[in-house]
Structure 1
Amino acid sequence: MNKKVLGSLLAGVLTLGALTGCSSKSENTVIKVAASPTPHAIILKHVKPELKKQGYDLQVTEYSDYVQPNNVVNDGDFDANYFQHTPYLENFNKENKTDIVSAGKIHYEPFGIYPGTKKSLKKIAKGDVVAVPNDVTNEARALLLLQDQGIIKLKKGAGINATTKDITSNPKKIDFKELEAAQVSRVNKEVAFVVLNGNYALDAGYSVEKDSLALEKADSEAASTYANIIGVKKGNQNEKKIKALVKVLKSKSTQKWIQKRFKGAVVGYTGK
């Protein structure tokens, strides 16, 4: 082999190596996230410019279902997802044999007590009817909030699995109308109060900031448990770009924007 041919081959190898290196570096600065349209994708698009300043290209793909976002992360097609809370993720992992973990808690959507036929909790009277969701997750949150207001007491340790069967004290003899979560707001003309998640409150025309009579506190058990997370495949939670994404989402400026944009229906999570 003459020197000219050898030189050409070496140049080709070096060029290929350089190109491979560039490709790897480029992939390292791309953050592909699968997200629900609202509020998740909206929040991600808001922080995209800040991440760009840090050298990251945030690419958001919206999904309307709660299955594919986990599948694409588990398969390695996406770096992260943003649509779920930890209890849902744990159940999904168990049922689907996936291995996804939380890289950080970003926001929660507070449950609130809203007016029905009565406009103040001080007006609650014996025999009043309160509408609550009938699924385990949401009913527990509703009951815990009612307990925080001193309206009922729950069995010790019932926590996030509480149902109406766990009520140990109900001095006002409140009657609970248990409905599918999306239907609760629709009976607000028939019951004294309705207990709703923020998104259903907005759908019903309530202002979370102005109309709620009580809201879950930021340091409540429910807020911590049901905070929406950045989900990643186990082992990737400490990647530099994932840490950068979580840090920007949890920043004070982003949290302030979330509060303003969603008018209290979505609240930045300040815990760990």
Structure 2
Amino acid sequence: MGNSVRAVATKGKRPLRVGATPVPHAEILDFVRDPLADCGIDLQIEIFESFDEPNELLVAGRLQANFFQYRPFLDNFNRLTGNALVPVVPVHTEPFGLYSMTVTAVEAIPRYAEIALPSDPVNVDRSLRMLTELGLITRDPVGFATVYNVRENPRALLFKQLSSWTLAEVRADFDVVFLFGNQAMEWGVDIGSALHCDQGNSAYAEYLVARPDNCDSYPVRALADALNREQTRDFILTTYAGQVLPAF
């Protein structure tokens, strides 16, 4: 279960409870707290360390919105669960990269290298797409590829699927590890040190998400407007120095 950050009730203001992952999502939300207070809204941020709970709690009505995911992840959740959560506005993009503590270049990845990748279907597919683009493998032309869809693997790379939240911790245990930008930042990993990085890809913009019954409500629309204002763009550019980019 998540932990609330500065979720102190403000008398006379409408509460808006939003689930988020810590960096940069919760930090960006915290930046827009004061403008929302001026609109009569008490923004309450609940932080989660996994990708599972925020959508489930939003569906259950425990949250009024969440901010942690990109469209392919949301679309897959809706498809698998039969829900219809709504992407309200895009906010930012984060780099997704290939990192190593021992290998210095993609070309130097050795035969039988052990590669750790996130285990959820959307990000397995994203990882395999990157490896295909780099010429390390070929994969079947399917919607969401799994490691079983790897068709050619000339370096006999060994794939290990792990929970996204453990990837940064196991960098020393693998030849190559996939990391999300927020994980790299939390662990002090320089994104510039990535062997390869997918940055600023609009297909993976992170969205504010709500339910069909409240996506057009005043509090959610006010939050969407605050997240997409020029001051928020400047905050993202200044705070994250290019490691996170505005998507609006």
Relative to the length of structure 2, the TM-score reads 0.73
Moved more, 81-90 or 233-242: 81-90
Pair 1:47–1:214, CA change in 2 (3 A): same
Q: Deviations over 1:85-144 (max 9, x none)?
A: 455555666777765422223234432111231122232344433332333233222111
What is the deviation of 1:59?
A: 1.8
What is the deviation of 1:266?
A: 4.2
* Structure 2 CA distance for aligned equivalents of residues 46 and 96 of structure 1: 32
* Structure 1 CA distance for aligned equivalents of residues 180 and 161 of structure 2: 13
* Structure 1 CA distance for aligned equivalents of residues 81 and 138 of structure 2: 37
Aligned residue-pair number: 234
What's the % identity of the aligned pairs?
25
Aligned-residue CA RMSD in angstroms? Answer: 3.5
Is the contact made by 1:70 and 1:100 (CA closer than 8 Å) also made in structure 2?
A: no
* Structure 2 CA distance for aligned equivalents of residues 92 and 127 of structure 1: 33
* Structure 1 CA distance for aligned equivalents of residues 156 and 168 of structure 2: 18
Query: Where does the alignment leave 5 or more consecutive residues of structure 1 unmatched?
Result: 1-25
What is the deviation of 1:38?
A: 0.9
Question: Which residue of 1 is the match for residue 195 of structure 2?
Answer: 213
Is the contact made by 1:74 and 1:99 (CA closer than 8 Å) also made in structure 2?
A: no
Match of 1:129 among 96, 99, 114: 114
What is the deviation of 1:198?
A: 2.4
Question: Which residue of 1 is the match for residue 162 of structure 2?
Answer: 180
Query: Where does the alignment leave 5 or more consecutive residues of structure 2 unmatched?
Result: 1-10
* Structure 1 CA distance for aligned equivalents of residues 158 and 153 of structure 2: 11
Question: Which residue of 1 is the match for residue 247 of structure 2?
Answer: 269
Is the contact made by 1:130 and 1:174 (CA closer than 8 Å) also made in structure 2?
A: no
What is the deviation of 1:70?
A: 5.1
Question: Which residue of 2 is the match for residue 33 of structure 1?
Answer: 17
Q: Deviations over 1:63-99 (max 9, x none)?
A: 4375477546754x76433344455555666777765
Match of 1:113 among 90, 98, 108: 98
SS of corresponding position for 2:31: helix
Relative to the length of structure 1, the TM-score reads 0.67
* Structure 2 CA distance for aligned equivalents of residues 167 and 95 of structure 1: 23
Match of 1:170 among 141, 145, 153: 153
Aligned pairs for 1:29-178 (under 5 A) are 30=14, 32-36=16-20, 38-39=22-23, 40-52=25-37, 55-64=39-48, 66-67=52-53, 71=57, 75=61, 79-86=64-71, 89=74, 100-156=85-141, 158-159=142-143, 161-171=144-154, 173-178=155-160
Q: Which has the higher Rg, Structure 1 or Structure 2?
A: 1
2:210 corresponds to 1:232 = yes
Question: Which residue of 2 is the match for residue 3 of structure 1?
Answer: none
